[in-house]
Amino acid sequence: MRIVADENIPLIEEFFGDHGEIVRLPGRQMCREQLMQADVLLVRSVTRVNADLLAGTRVKFVGTATIGVDHVDVDWLREQGIGFASAPGSNAESVVDYVLSGLLLMSEQDGETLNSRTVGIVGAGNVGSRLQARLEALDMPCLICDPPRAEAEGREDFVDLDTLIERADVICLHTPLIQSGDHATHHLLNAERIDALRPDQILISAGRGECVDTSALRRRLETRRDLRVILDVWEQEPDIDEALCRLVDIATPHVAGYSLDGKMLGTDMIHEAMSRHFGLPARKRLGQLKPDSWLRRITLTGWAPPLEALTLCARACYDIRRDALLLERYRRHYGMAEGFDRMRKEYPPRREFSTLRVSLKHNAGDLRDTIVSAGFSLRLAGKQG
């Protein structure tokens, strides 16, 4: 079996090496000629998988080690009888860590507590629902906008987007890119809605860049720099709008889901799906292959204000400012487009909050509750947490 894989998928040899020959290629440059002898194609979001890429090849299974599937013509694959699997939820926790890191930064800059802000979540799927759970556990009130779910589940507690924009202090976008239909998300945040954003509102976009009208957001920030914006996803990646990149508070190159844990789980999930598709035994276990985190425990020897303790532990695990500074360095060195892709390819190891065990000497209820609510593992003095 010949397996062609995006070079940015981790643990490819470990999971797929027993099944055949592996050819690793840069995802954005993959072309049909490279796939003529391939049986399996494993991609990430930067490879457009459609008839142009696969017609005439003998590819029988496609896996995308990502949550989003807007880069795949799923209907065409089905019509051709080609197996397909994505990795739903694989890096959802990683995105939640990213958003929480951003919210902690904004709270520190404003001298505000976390729960002084209402967070509006647009798209309450694997990412958005986990984000809601974690934020509500931290006593942050959430508004949810997810019309497909509202209709399917009869959710009276969900709100429409314009109500959310009116009432929320923070707007988090976690919708997939849907080009058409009743709930299309292309430019969901259009010029009208961007102009309706209130001064001091915070916009965090970590779904797909095309869900936000780039030109309208750039114009808003050029004329009224009164919004706080954290952008992880952009239109026309990797050749993103540099003017907008300079105008936002935090600019990162589509790495909210780039924890090692999330990426490795994605590989595990598509390996499981490919094995099932071909009736092969899936003997590999991620637990055996996942490296230990180099920061496995923090011990708080005394009581600390919960928000301070949370910020310290979060930053030890992942500081969103690191990625913003890195992107600027890569941009200066390689230019925007190449710098964007190189940083993603060379992304420094980042582990999810759940891999960090926080030891507490004092079983202070509020501190303990905050640490657990934020997603860290807990160990109480003298007990296994």
Ligand X SMILES: O=C(O)[C@H](O)[C@H](O)COP(=O)(O)O
Residue 175 as a binder of ligand NAD (CB under 6 A): the answer is yes
Query: What is the footprint of ligand X within residues 124-153 (CB under 6 A)?
Result: none
Beta bridge partners of 3: 22, 40
Which span sits near ligand NAD by CB under 6 A: 169-177, 264-272, 273-281, 283-291? 169-177
CA distances from 127 to 52, 99, 146, 160, 230 (A): 31, 10, 12, 19, 17
| 47 belongs to an annotated ligand binding site | no
Give the chain's count of helices (H) and strands (E): 16, 14
How many Å apart are CA 353 and CA 349, to the nearest integer? 13
Q: Is 358 one of the binding residues for ligand NAD (CB under 6 A)?
A: no
What is the rounded CA–CA span in Å between residue 235 and residue 187? 10
Residue 257 found at the interface with ligand X (CB under 6 A): yes
Q: Which residue in the block uniquely carries the two structure tokens 């985190």?
A: 293
- Residue 261 CB, shortest distance to ligand X, in Å, is 13
Q: Which residues of 314-331 are buried (b: 16+ CB within 10 A; e: fewer)?
A: bbebbbbeebbebbeebb
Among 91, 205, 214, 293, binds ligand X (CB under 6 A): 91
Question: What residue has token string 């915070």?
Answer: 202
* Binding residue (CB under 6 A) for ligand X from 117, 174, 220, 254: 254
| Of 176, 322, 335, 377, the one binding ligand NAD by CB under 6 A | 176
Alpha carbon separation from 9 to 16, 260, 358 (Å, rounded): 11, 10, 30
Do the beta carbons of residue 334 and residue 131 sit within 8 Å?
A: no
Q: Would you call 208 a catalytic residue per the annotation?
A: yes
The annotation status of 146 as a binding-site residue, yes or no, is yes
Number of Cβ within 10 Å of residue 8's Cβ equals 21
User: Would the annotation count 160 as a binding residue?
Assistant: no
Which of these segments, 39-47, 49-57, 138-146, 310-318, binds ligand X (CB under 6 A)? 39-47
Size of the site for ligand NAD (CB under 6 A): 33
- The answer to whether 223 is annotated as binding is no
- At its nearest, how many Å lie between ligand NAD and the CB of residue 317? 17
The 8-class DSSP code of residue 212 comes to B
Stretch that binds ligand NAD, among 30-38, 91-99, 189-197, 234-242 (CB under 6 A): 91-99
CA–CA distance, 245 with 356 (Å, rounded to integer) = 31
CB of residue 182 to ligand NAD, shortest distance in Å: 8
Asked whether position 375 contacts ligand X by CB under 6 A, the answer is: no
SS (H, E, C) 17-60: HHHCEEEEECHHHCCHHHHCCCCEEEECCCCCECHHHHCCCCCC
Catalytically annotated residue among 174, 208, 350, 357: 208
Angle between helices 306-317 and 365-373 (to 10 degrees): 30
CB of 15 closer than 8 Å to CB of 271: yes
What x/- string results for residues 312 through 351 when contact with ligand X is judged by CB under 6 A?
--------------------------------x-------
Query: Residue 187 is encoded by which pair of tokens?
Result: 């430019």
Q: Is 46 in the site for ligand X (CB under 6 A)?
A: yes
Q: Does the annotation list 195 as a binding residue?
A: no
The yes or no reply on residue 205 touching ligand X (CB under 6 A) is: no
Q: Which residue among 8, 259, 311, 355 contacts ligand X (CB under 6 A)? A: 8
Annotated binding site for substrate: 45, 66, 258
Catalytic annotation, residues = 208, 237, 254
The residues of the shown chain that bind ligand NAD, judged by CB under 6 A, are: 67-68, 89, 91-92, 95, 122-128, 145-149, 174-176, 178, 183, 185, 188, 206-208, 232-233, 254, 256-257
